[in-house]
A and B are shown apart, each in its own frame.
Chain A
Amino acid sequence: MLKSWKEIPIGGVVDEPGKSREYKTGTWRVLRPVLHLDKCVHCMFCWLYCPDMAIVIDSSGQKPKMIGFNYNYCKGCGLCADVCPTNAIEMRPETEFAEE
């Protein structure tokens, strides 16, 4: 994950904007948000509040639609589940999804 000193640009320069995406904060997650699409009213509150910009939406139609989560970056804070007006987001322990 970490680069050696030979690969890092000289002089402490960060040469690319938004480079933090290389670091996947999704590995921190303890609780995983699960979307129940049948309850979702696509109010976009989760998208607005997500501190990690990890809500995936589709805005090709007339109204934007919630699709799911970007589990690479979701830290599992549960703020989306807290602001959801219809309880369409459920927080489940990450262990349930662990692969053997």
Chain B
Amino acid sequence: MPVNLFGLAKTFENRAEDIGLVQGHRLCPGCAAPIVVKFSLMVARKLGYEPVVGLATGCLEVSTTIYPYTAWTVPYIHNAFENSAATMSGVETAARALKKFGVLPKDKKYAFFVFAGDGGTYDIGLQSLSGMIERGHKVIYILYDNEGYMNTGNQRSGSTPTGSNTTTAPVGKVIPGKVQLKKNIVEIVAGHEYVYAATVSISDPNDFFSKIEKSLNFDGPSFIAAFSPCVRFWRIPDGAANSISKLAVETKYWPLYEVENGVYRVTRKPRQFKPLIEFLKPQGRFKPLLSRPDADEIVQRLQEYVDRRWERLLTLEEATKGKPIR
């Protein structure tokens, strides 16, 4: 049975301790990271899984586990920035071994989650993520993509979009912010032999729920990239996380699709798309770029890029239909 909103509300009501992340964490007001965590854990719980959570260093880790407090009510592990996937591989293997020796009940279902930011996924944790997928551990790796090292104050990462104003790639007279394009992490992950990879956005909860459900049922590693606006360094109003996510989906900036075992499927195809400028304009991080004289040219180039990527996705969907790798 698919997970629905009223069913979730009836199950969890006001008991955040049943979800796994409780009140009192110190993330910024309006941060999307706890929403990503909440959505994922709720689905796992609702479907009868016991979540086990591993975190990479990042906003989520430092602000939910401030000593002597913790906001988690599920088994939780943090090791280092670069090895969250490797750590969870170990946890998953240990749970399997303990089940084999009868220490843990054999019929108990565990869901192993990794929550990592884009720094811990795109840049620093990439090799351990790749290793985890190659070894085939049944771990769900959830990336909350806030497009920069926001925990340490807005440094550029492999995920930062072109033209964004960051402290290490500021917009100036010579350089228009970050000049390189954003790394396409889902393609990198989908390049592995046996994996479920998907993109989700909090503005589309049903799609989010069904993708988490799919990854729970997938017999192997899963990777989910969640668009997670950072209210502080994207310079957007506190309550705008959802509307910005919505714009990202509607302007093709963050297409919602999944790659299951090499088969592409675009899960949301809006009939009409908005121009990319509508996504860039409300965000303060693009403001210095847009006030440059060559702004139109740069925006035009970005628009062409997202258009081409969307066309490519549709072509891939057509080409891989019914042709899984394994």
Contact = CB atoms under 8 A, between A and B. Distances in A.
A65 to B, nearest CB: 9
A59 B25 contact: no
A18 to B, nearest CB: 4
A57 B39 CA distance: 17
A19 B26 CA distance: 12
Contact of A64 (B10, B24, B67, B242): B10
Contacts of B14: 53, 56-57, 70
B68 to A, nearest CB: 6
A44 B25 contact: no
Say what secondary structure dominates the interface of chain B. loop
Contacts of B13: 57-59, 64
Contacts, number: 128
Interface residues of chain A: helix, strand, loop or mixed (majority): loop
Chain B interface bracket (under 10, 10 to 19, 20 to 34, 35 or more):
35 or more
Contact of B24 (A24, A29, A47): A24
Given A20-B22, A77-B231, A48 B205 contact: yes
Interface string A1-45: 001000011001010011111111100110000000000000111
A23 B69 contact: yes
A1 to B, nearest CB: 11
B202 to A, nearest CB: 7
Contacts of B69: 14, 19-20, 22-23
Contacts of A58: 13
Contacts of A57: 9, 13-14
Contacts of B31: 51, 77
B24 A73 contact: yes
Contact of B26 (A9, A23, A44, A63): A23
B218 interface: no
Nearest to B237: A78
A68 B69 CA distance: 26
Nearest to B33: A51
B38 interface: yes
Contacts of A24: 24
Contact of A83 (B19, B33, B66, B242): B242
Contacts of B239: 77-82, 91
B64 interface: yes
A25 B38 CA distance: 18
